[in-house]
Structure 1
Amino acid sequence: MVGALTGCTSGDGDDKAGKADKAEAAGKAAGKPESSKPASPKPAEPPAESGRGSGTRVGGTGSACELPVSFETGEGWTAKSMSVGDAAFLGSVTEHKYLKGTCELDTKERVISRMLVWTGPATGSSARQVLEAFMAEEKKYLVESEYQDIKVGGLPAVEVVYKLNSPKLKEDREQRALAVSTPKGAAVVQLRGFDTAEHRRILPVYELAKKTMSGTPVVAN
């Protein structure tokens, strides 16, 4: 009995489905538009950083990272001193050996995009020499670069805006870096980003660091 009922129901369903298919085909032939679900709205891009300061400086003695320079961090951004192991790993991944990764600044809203500070001992090299040596280690994917001599906090500095080819993204990514050479050592502040759009969204944080930067005093032994 169950088998008979199942068979009857199945046949009735097939007949209805067949009629529906014929009706749909007839509608297409007559030029009637097919019903379709509305397209999902495109996710909104995250807003750009405001560039407002946090009121906290990094770089000085007792701060999150002790550096040859100090500057104000962006609102919502935190600085973290890199351990020896983390610095070694970063150097191996990025192929940077001339300077070591010393400090990373990021925010929980931007997990991938961040600002890095690379440092080295005082050698008497100019800011341009420091930056050119740093950029020589980017040559593997370097597409173009433009250097500019500037001053930050009264210190001679050199800035570079450059593009790296990203095989994974299949596009060129904009990056930038700023180098200074002080009696306490050399420093390169590098602004990274997942892609060019994200890099430009976090640019105000870098500009804030540049605007508020100054050398840190050398402490006599």
Structure 2
Amino acid sequence: MRHPIRVLLPALASLAALGTLTGCLGTEAEPDLGARPAQSPTATSTAGTAVATEVAAGSVGAAGSACELPVSFGLAADWKPQAVRATDDEAFAVLGKQGPATMVCEIDAKPAGAIGYLRVWSAGTGPARTALEGFVKAEQNTSKVSYRETKAGALPAVEVTYTVANELMEESKEERAFAVTAPKGTVIVHLGGLDTQEHRAMLPAYELARTSVQGR
């Protein structure tokens, strides 16, 4: 089922609504939309496109970090992680589950000047591609879905790029995710964004996450 937060509410209101899930939006200042995270000169390739990679300013996933995950990876400057706890309430049932995956961590880009999140989803212990395909199939209004084999750090991974039609805003936007299976489980790391422009501005942080993955 497609998340209503992406369809039924104006984009900024939807971000605020999702903040009720984690309780982290109430004290944050409005983002400076003109700001963008500084990029390093290092370039990697994602879905066939050269993308500059951020310099790590922190990490998430290890024991004692904001989100303890089956993998760890680097964070771009000012991206703020917060654990998402599974509950039985209706909001989590709608926003916190997609196909075979359950959201376990949100990494907010607003302090870095962008509108969007890296979201980490736990997908059990099955193959990465099976989990990622189930994740995308659970999203409505998708098109241009393309999978490719890649690496997450040194680990084999699968990446998907696709577009999602936003009926309210009468436009489509790009999204992407990668899935990787580590000894402690399979995770999906997803990058959305307010629109395609915001999505592309955040790609260096996504690439930093993908290329710095370490299994735990």
TM-score, scaled relative to structure 2 = 0.71
Give the RMSD, CA atoms, in angstroms. 2.3
1:70 alignment counterpart:
72
Which residue identity lines up with residue 79 of structure 1 in the other structure?
P
Q: Secondary structure at the match of 1:130?
A: helix
2:129 alignment counterpart:
128
Q: Are the structure 2 counterparts of residues 63 and 86 from structure 1 closer, same or farther at C-alpha, using a change threshold of 3 Å?
A: farther
Deviation track 1:68-103 (CA, whole Å, cap 9, x = no partner) reads 111011101111001224996354147614111000
Determine which of 122, 141, 144 is the counterpart of 1:119. 122
Identity %: 36
Higher Cα Rg: structure 1 or 2? Answer: 1
Which residue identity lines up with residue 70 of structure 1 in the other structure?
S
**Distance in 2 separating the partners of 1:67 and 1:87:** 23
Q: Secondary structure at the match of 1:168?
A: coil
The structure carrying a bigger helix percent of its residues is: 1
Which residue identity lines up with residue 60 of structure 1 in the other structure?
A
**Distance in 1 separating the partners of 2:89 and 2:181:** 20
Q: How many residues align?
A: 170
Task: Map 1:23-172; keep pairs closer than 5 Å.
Answer: 46-51=34-39, 52-85=54-87, 89-93=91-95, 96-109=98-111, 110=113, 112-122=115-125, 125-138=126-139, 140-172=140-172
TM-score, scaled relative to structure 1 = 0.70
2:206 alignment counterpart:
206
Deviation track 1:30-67 (CA, whole Å, cap 9, x = no partner) reads xxxxxxxxxxxxxx962443243343210111111011
2:24 alignment counterpart:
none
Q: Are the structure 2 counterparts of residues 211 and 111 from structure 1 closer, same or farther at C-alpha, using a change threshold of 3 Å?
A: closer
Does the 8 Å CA contact 1:87/1:102 hold for their aligned counterparts?
no
Give 5+ residue unaligned stretches, structure 2. 1-31, 40-53
Does the 8 Å CA contact 1:165/1:172 hold for their aligned counterparts?
yes
**Distance in 1 separating the partners of 2:205 and 2:133:** 23
**Distance in 2 separating the partners of 1:190 and 1:154:** 19
**Distance in 1 separating the partners of 2:181 and 2:160:** 15
Q: Are the structure 2 counterparts of residues 190 and 88 from structure 1 closer, same or farther at C-alpha, using a change threshold of 3 Å?
A: farther
Does the 8 Å CA contact 1:163/1:175 hold for their aligned counterparts?
yes
Does the 8 Å CA contact 1:87/1:100 hold for their aligned counterparts?
no
Q: Secondary structure at the match of 1:76?
A: coil
**Distance in 2 separating the partners of 1:179 and 1:127:** 5
